[in-house]
Amino acid sequence: MKTKHTPGPWAFREGAEPHHQALVYSEESGHDVAVTYHDEGATNARLIAAAPELLDALQSITETLHQMKRDNTVSGMLYVAELAIQKATQP
């Protein structure tokens, strides 16, 4: 699948007063990806920065689950994983 988002890996820098801004940026290009605010900004930025790796891992897991699709448990996990991928990749 061709990626339409800024390719990972992403990293983040914690912000400072007065707004506790945290910056998420591309490690490769240095371009900004997102800015978060408020006290939970660094926590949100950390999660956002992990998004490319999380998406890659989930896509890899779904490929494996498709190969293992033998019972309802695997089918249920596959359904949840595919919904999360769709949420992350569909406009």
For residue range 26-67, what is the model confidence (pLDDT) as tens digits?
A: 999 999 888 888 777 778 888 888 888 888 888 888 888 887
Residues with Cβ < 8 Å from 39, sequence gap 6 or more? 20
pTM check: above 0.85: no
Query: Is the bond preceding residue 91 a cis peptide, omega within 30 degrees?
Result: no
81 or 41, which is more confident: 81
Q: Is 37 left (phi over 0), alpha (psi -120 to 50) or beta?
A: beta
Nearest to 25 by CA among 16, 15, 35: 35
For residue range 4-34, what is the model confidence (pLDDT) as tens digits?
A: 788 888 988 887 677 668 888 999 999 988 8
